[in-house]
Structure 1
Amino acid sequence: MSALLSGLRALLPTRADYRGARISWRADLVAGLTVGIVALPLALAFGVSSGVGAEAGLVTAIVAGLVAAVFGGSNVQVSGPTGAMVVVLAPIVVLHGVGAVAVVSLMAGVLVVAAGIFRLGRAVSYIPWPVIEGFTAGIGIIIFLQQVPAALGVEAGGHSSNAVVAAWQVVTEASWPAALLPLAAVAGVALIMVLLGRIAPAIPASFVAILAVSIVTVLAGSPLTTIGTLPSSLPAPSLPALDPATLTALAGPAVAVAALAAIESLLSARVAATIADTGQVNADRELFGQGLASIASGFFGGMPATGAIARTAVNVRSGARTRLAAVIHALALLLVVLVAAPVVGAIPLAALSGVLMMTAARMVSPATIGRVLRSSRSSVAVFAVTLFVTVAFDLVIAVGIGLAVAAFFALRTLSRMSDATREVLPGPAAPGDERIALFTVHGSLFFGAADRLVDQISEAPDVAVVVLRLSDVQIIDATGANALAELVSALERRGVTVLIKGVRPEHRRLLEQLGVIRSLRDPGHLFTELAPALDHARDHVRREAASQ
């Protein structure tokens, strides 16, 4: 019990979290305000794109952003609604309604908190780079396609749940030339973001683009659909309906959302740690904090939250050094709700689509794809499979399949590196040496290579003694140990004496448990040095020859 309490205390905030704020508070203030400006259009856009509305996006950015900043495990992580989460939530809204999102947020938050408590934070380090890049590129493609309805002025509902099919349906249904007007707004946003990105990269291009297009739209009296009325305060917290039928129906989506929230948050925190020296990331605490953030967001009618890679990068590059910057970002967005809700409500939805299309385009990095394509063929295959499954089926399934494909290629490579080589006996030749087979096993004796190694050893012709050198074996799993036991038993039944040399201490217990040692004709046939093993083998051959 004391260990559990001690572990929980390690996941809670401490005064040390703000130790450097006395020195860096000015930089944190500037960074927080900058990120707040960048996050505003994204929070609105992700809320609209997911189907729960701009208000839910803002609520998530404020509530979840504040909670994650205080309880998370990164000093500079900025959390809120993200494109990847939108991709998962949009089908949930279609199937279960808007109210289901708050329930999913609570359920997923509880799962992510549990993952932090049970120390699963290191799991993201096992995701290979090609899987991450394929996953990211796939998300970018889906986000882009999901914005096609708003970009062409078509209602998003009533289309296929697959983003590719739905985008094609929207293009065929669009009313031309009326669709040119929202398309022009999208193009205007994209043009401003590209130009500002090249001319003045320090200026928050998405905010300026939306502001410019919104002003033109209002002055021109354009009929473009806008966000509409937004509340001038946060909604009161409340517990959504949690009846058994709802919980059962949303169990699967909640697991998918929790997995995505954990993966994306930990990846974002890891990326932030590589940009600048802002302190270590406590992966378990990060999960704990992100889970609490999603729970809090659900109580306020928001969406599940994750760490946002783009906003976190802006935060770090703007000079943030402590979590105070992320707190200020959330408070700045709260100020927007309290003071400027009517102004924000006048933003055209097409302008938000333009921001998300540009965000999505940046997620599909040609430079990164080029690096993948220049790497190994197995990496290209893993990337392509993950990308395809992400776009065609499901994000979380894509990560699972990508991991499976990556594991297959890794095991194949490891298997090819494993070998059993018959060697010439060292020292001066002695009569009968031809009847002694010395095999050195290299690499790993595991389920992917065990059968092939056993075949190589068992095919040695006309020998009386087999000496197995296992000192170079790096890994032995249960399958490999069992195969080795069967090999020893088979050779002994054929009248071949087996001697084993160089069992590593970390392998000995497994070999004993699975009967490898017991399969030897004599317990003394286990050696730590090669010379005594060869002396024993030669003595055995001499005795056998003398008895014939």
Structure 2
Amino acid sequence: MTVDTESDATKTKRVRSVLRHDLPASLVVFLVAVPLSLGIAVTSGAPLIAGLVAAVVGGLVAGPLGGSVVQVSGPAAGLALVVSELVHRYGWRATCMITLMAGVVQVVLGAFKVARTALAVSPAVVHGMLAGVGVVIALAQLHVVLGGQPQRSALENLVELPDQIVHNHSHAVAVGVLTIALLVLWPRLPRVSVVPAPLAALAVAALTAGVLGWDVARADLSKGLAEWATPVLPSGDWHGIAGAVLLVALLAGVESLLCSVAADRMHDGPRADLDRELTGLGLANLVSGALGGLPVAGVIVRTTTNVRAGARSRWSATLHGGWVLLFAVGLGWSVTLIPMEALAALLVFIGVRMVNLGTVRGLHGHGELPIYVLTMGAVVVIGLAEGVLLGLGLAALFALRRLTRVSIHVRLEPDDRWHVVVTGSLTFVGVPSLTSSLRAIPAGSAVDLDLNVDFMDNAAFEALHGWRLEHERSGGTVTIDEIHDTWYSTAASGTRVSAAKTPPQAPERWWLPRAYRQGGPLSRIPIRHGQSVTPARAGQDEPSGQGATPGVAVPDLLAGTADFQRRTAPLVRPILTRMARVQQPSHLFITCADSRVVPNLITASGPGDLFTVRNIGNLVPRHGAAPPDDSVVAAVEYATAALDVSTITVCGHSGCGAMAALLCAGENIPGLPGLSNWLRHGDHTLARYILSDPASDPGGEDAGPLDRLCRLNVSQQLDNLRTHPSVASLEASGRLQLVGLYFDIGAARVHVLDREGFTPVTTCRAEPEIGTQAGGAMVR
């Protein structure tokens, strides 16, 4: 019973949504669809009824069966040139059969789920094609607006245009100018803009021409209704017919799928199923061709109108098809009142709008403007199919150029070693540039060659390997370092190289101290004696402890920065570039200055995650403490007020030298007055240690005195933080959380302060209840 009740409630909710949102939206789309469908039929050279048939089928068939809940399909201006050429070559009824067969092809493609492959077509080609079609339509129909007849090509229309403008000043021109003026101005009139501009422009033009008795040509729908066009098989070369079927199927399919993708960005409902969209479109074209209609495709103008009108489901597109059917059957006679010059003016307006300047700016930013311009120009000058093919060819060349782009930098280092950096995809295309750069290096010199390449083909390998052998024969040395997969060394060993590109790899054992990495593999980890680091090698005795060699530290550090620049910088540069202008850390991390504590390492964090404060003993001076310390307070204020961090973490560690100094009352720090003054901020920690019971300490009674003090210090510093009014206020309001961590260096184990004290962090434990512990009681 409950299930039935819930089902009834869901159905009632859906019905209400349709009546409230989809029904009004369908009426708005219907008012836009009728004039556009008539205008596209005119420029396609098809009967006017064919445009209405396609609109009806686009709504009643593609609407419920398509893959997008908001997309509206119907006759598309982007296919007008194709249809016009087919009508001229094969006749209208044969064009209907081509549309039908194109629908069958689309159904088959949808069944094989290949719709996603259509998205591989460069949008620059699609937009360029639509812009070219728009220019051709506008030039042709502009002659009708001016009272003349369109010529056979866009160039002829352009050449004849000045004569048309100079000599024709008839009633037809007045109707066209009036229509275009209304199309431009109507959306800017707020109180009447609820009525679609195309409908308003055609209605005003028809009314004005009728009242003033202007001599204009009228649209004729009676012939289309009386002589219903049924499809017939086209006659002629079957290669041309097959090409026409594929052209209609692919152009309509690609335009519809791209429209579906664009529609997904306009609403928050279910995402489009592209394979279903292609199948539904194919069924719609099959039905439209069988009934004598134009080819059907997803139309961005109607889809945008549908979304803006508040559509929520497929019912809007479906109902709009029903309204168009009722109009064609019951009000078809009203079409005869519309001046043909007004329809031509509407097409001029649509054609100009198809050249989208916003799209041009976007393509220019991605370096694809030449593809757009070439496609548009070729469509205008040569033809639609030829323009699309030229655009696809140029897009393929651009893609090949990007995929095979390689940069080569050669410079002489101060130590007389040549440093060569090769970045990109190293293929046969880059071999001339590579060999030219390498041969400029003097014979017999030492060369460091960094290969930061994501692919290397055989031609590039042979060129590089041949140069290396020749350079080494001349007495030179070549050290090759590969940052990505080992393309060169793998090929040199005779192993088969994978053709797939691989992602960049992080430097091996990047987390090791520099001295450990310099020792080579982990089997040769250096042995420490006192403060010195000496690699243990086979056949050598362990050296005695000694201080660091003077003068080694700076070159060692610079070598590390060079290693970062060569290996790590290419990996993190894209991230740091995005962070260059602003930092947005979520944590303030206060820890000791001890060199063995690496915050980013123990928290697995990266650039931009932690706002870090480090000092001796990870101390936080209390509010109003003496001696005052503005450094830590300034960092806390900036992190909470300016950066709006959500967490402040205090992290202590085992064997802390500052805590050892507190335990021995500073006996081991003579001659360090600054350190002695600073450690006064640890007096409360020492007092807490003296008054505490070892059994109740966060570390437990088994912890040694020093580690117990190090753990208690974390709790004390959290309490010190709460003495600052801003921190206490943010924590009380729930906008800030204080966290205590303890890092056991010897065990490489992080402990978190929770209700039971410091508990080791494991990979499968639940989130702890974080707080601080004071005198055995949890302070929340």
TM-score after normalising by structure 1: 0.76
**Which residue in the other structure is 2:296 paired with?**
305
Q: Do residues 357 (structure 1) and 343 (structure 2) align?
A: no
Q: 1:295 to 1:468 in 2, by over 3 A?
A: farther
2:748 aligns with none
Aligned-residue offset at 1:25: 0.5
Please say if residues 231 and 341 of structure 1, whose CA atoms lie closer than 8 Å, have aligned partners that are also in contact.
Answer: no
Comparing 338-347 with 453-462, which one deviates more in the overlay? 453-462
Aligned length: 486
Deviation at 1:448, TM superposition (A): 3.4
Q: Partner amino acid for 1:72?
A: G
One of 209, 213, 229 as aligned partner of 1:217: 209
1:482 aligns with 2:471: no
Q: Does residue 285 of the first structure (1) align with residue 272 of the second (2)? A: no
Number of the residue aligned with 1:106: 100
Q: Which residue of 2 aligns with 1:146?
A: 140
Identify which range, 344-353 or 74-83, moves more after superposition: 344-353
Distance 2:300 2:346 in 1: 16
Q: What secondary structure sits across from 2:423 in the alignment?
A: strand
Distance 1:454-1:95 versus aligned 2 partners, 3 A rule: same
> Which is bigger in relative contact order (C-alpha 8 A, separation at least 6)?
1
Seq. identity, %: 31
Partner of 2:338: 347
- Say yes or no: does 1:87 pair with 2:81: yes
Partners of 2:202 and 2:343 within 8 A in 1: yes
Contact 2:54 2:293 (C-alpha < 8 Å) held by counterparts: yes
Q: Equivalent of 1:188, from 178, 189, 197?
A: 178
Task: Give the corresponding residue for 2:374.
Answer: 385
Letter in 1 for 2:181: L
Residues 233, 338 of structure 1: 8 Å contact kept: no
Q: Contact 1:135–1:387 at 8 Å: present in 2 too?
A: yes
Q: Which residue of 2 aligns with 1:473?
A: 453
**Structure 1 position 229 matched with structure 2 position 217:** no
| Letter of the structure 1 residue corresponding to residue 379 of structure 2 | T
- Greater helix proportion: 1
Partners of 1:291 and 1:227 lie apart in 2 by 30
1:518 aligns with 2:512: no
2:382 is aligned with what amino acid?
Answer: F
SS at match of 2:221: coil
Single out whichever of 29-38 and 486-495 deviates more from structure 2.
486-495
| Aligned twin of 1:13 | none
Residue 182 of structure 1: how far off its partner (Å): 1.4
Q: Which 10-residue stretch deviates more, 22-31 or 313-322?
A: 22-31
Tell me which moved more, 95-104 or 452-461.
452-461
Letter in 2 for 1:266: L
Q: Which runs of 5+ in 1 are unaligned?
A: 1-17, 521-527, 534-548
Shift of 1:445: 1.5
Indicate which of 249, 255, 263 corresponds to 2:246: 255
Deviations 1:390-429 (A, max 9, x none): 211223433433344345455556655532657869xxx9
Residues 293-332 of structure 1: pairs in structure 2 closer than 5 A: 293-332=284-323
Q: 1:249 to 1:71 in 2, by over 3 A?
A: same
Determine whether 1:25 maps to 2:18.
yes
Match of 2:256 among 241, 248, 265: 265
Q: 1:439 to 1:286 in 2, by over 3 A?
A: same
Deviations 1:189-223 (A, max 9, x none): 22222232110332211112212222333444444
Q: Is the 8 A contact 2:70 2:307 kept in 1?
A: yes
Shift of 1:266: 2.0
Question: Does 1:462 find its partner at 2:437?
Answer: no
Partners of 2:58 and 2:72 within 8 A in 1: no
Residues 382-461 of structure 1: pairs in structure 2 closer than 5 A: 382-409=371-398, 411-412=400-401, 417-419=406-408, 421=410, 439-457=420-438, 460-461=441-442
- Residue pair 1:62, 1:333 contacting (<8 A) in 2 also: yes
Residue 455 of structure 1 deviates from its aligned partner by 3.9
Change (3 A) 1:19 1:379: farther
Ranges in structure 2 where 5+ consecutive residues have no aligned partner = 1-10, 497-506, 509-516, 522-780
Q: CA RMSD in A?
A: 3.8
CA contact (8 A) 2:55 2:324 kept: yes
Looking at structure 1, the residues matched to 133 and 410 of structure 2 have their Cα atoms a distance apart, in angstroms, of: 47
**Cα displacement string for residues 320-370 of structure 1 (whole angstroms, at most 9, x for unaligned residues):** 111111111111101111111112233221111121122222223455556
| Structure 1 partner of 2:187 | 197
The question of whether the paired residues in 1 share the 8 Å contact of 2:427 and 2:460 is answered with no
Distance 1:453 1:355, change over 3 A: same
Amino acid at match of 2:144: A
